[in-house]
Amino acid sequence: MAKGMRDIKRQIKSTQNMKQITKAMEMIASARLRRAQEAAQSARPYAEKLREVIGSISSAGGVNHPMLEKRPIKRTGYIVITSDRGLAGGYNANLLRKVMLTIREKHKSNKDEYLIYVLGRKGRDFLRRRGIPIAQEIVGLPDFPRFSDIRDVANGAVKAYEEGTIDELVLVYNEFRSVISQTPVDKTLLPLGETEKSGSASASYEFEPSPEVVLNHILPRYAETLVYSAVLEGKASEFGARMTAMSNASKNATKFINSLTLQYNRARQASITQEITEIVAGANAQG
């Protein structure tokens, strides 16, 4: 009985230590979530202003550009945004399940029909284990990435579209909706949609040297900005998912501790009762 009680006490102590860790991780994720949300929100006005300028050029000047025109899709590029670390509930698993489902349904797993660009160690390792070729990768992103941190992949993917290596570029990431809701989405990045081509400008612009030159320069920057915005959105989703996962883990640890404590108290009471019974039996035997 004493040995069993020691084991229970050891389990209680171990679970309490685990609870302290999960609680600390929850608090860290909560603090980082607020900052990540602010970063995601601050990137939106820049992208919106670029969209406005592109709409002004496209609608007023009648200028065309390959990034605005649809073409027959022979090969699709996917930019998959995952995290470097786990302990975030279904954040990575749900997203990668969506990627694999898309590949199976849309391409029949034909590797010649798609190209993968991946951000995050979890996504890279997952795809490598399944033998899926990766064109470019970035791992070890900081919690609050700058544009320079993801420029290589964003620039490489956009250039692949411009050069005709791919005919469509799709962003796959977790869209942040709330602390408890992060939804995997796939959004077509290139060709740019009707919103960019027909967007109404709130101001008139004069372009120097010409609208065509400005458009050639600004369209790749706009596409790269959308990739960066998706990365920031993914980071906010990651922290929200981790915060929720660690909160649930802490609650489960509390329930387990309460259950073990009750079990320990019952075992202790049974031990005391047995000792009293033995003492009384010994006294009666002497009497």
What is residue 266's predicted lDDT score, i.e. its pLDDT? 87
What is residue 196's predicted lDDT score, i.e. its pLDDT? 58
d(CA 89, CA 41): 24
From the candidate CATH numbers 3.30.465.10, 3.40.50.1820, 3.30.1440.10, 1.10.287.80, the one assigned to the domain spanning 2-25+246-280: 1.10.287.80
At a CB cut-off of 8 Å and minimum separation 6, what does 162 contact? 66, 67, 220
Model pLDDT for residues 55-65, shown as the tens digit of each residue: 777 665 556 67
Residue 101 has pLDDT above 70, yes or no: yes
Where does CATH 1.10.287.80 sit in the chain? Answer: 2-25+246-280
At a CB cut-off of 8 Å and minimum separation 6, what does 261 contact? 12
What's the average model confidence in pLDDT over 101-125? 91
Where does CATH 3.40.1380.10 sit in the chain? Answer: 42-244
CATH code assigned to 42-244: 3.40.1380.10
- Amino acid identity of residue 123, one-letter, is G
d(CA 196, CA 207): 17
Model pLDDT for residues 152-203, shown as the tens digit of each residue: 999 999 889 988 899 999 999 998 888 888 899 998 888 876 555 555 545 5
pTM: 0.83
Percent of the chain having pLDDT more than 90? 44
| Contact by Cβ (8 Å): 79, 171 | yes
What's the average model confidence in pLDDT over 265-286? 78
Model pLDDT for residues 216-269, shown as the tens digit of each residue: 788 888 888 889 999 999 999 999 999 999 999 999 999 999 999 998 888 888
d(CA 205, CA 53): 8
Distances (CA, A) of 224 to 18, 111, 200: 41, 25, 22
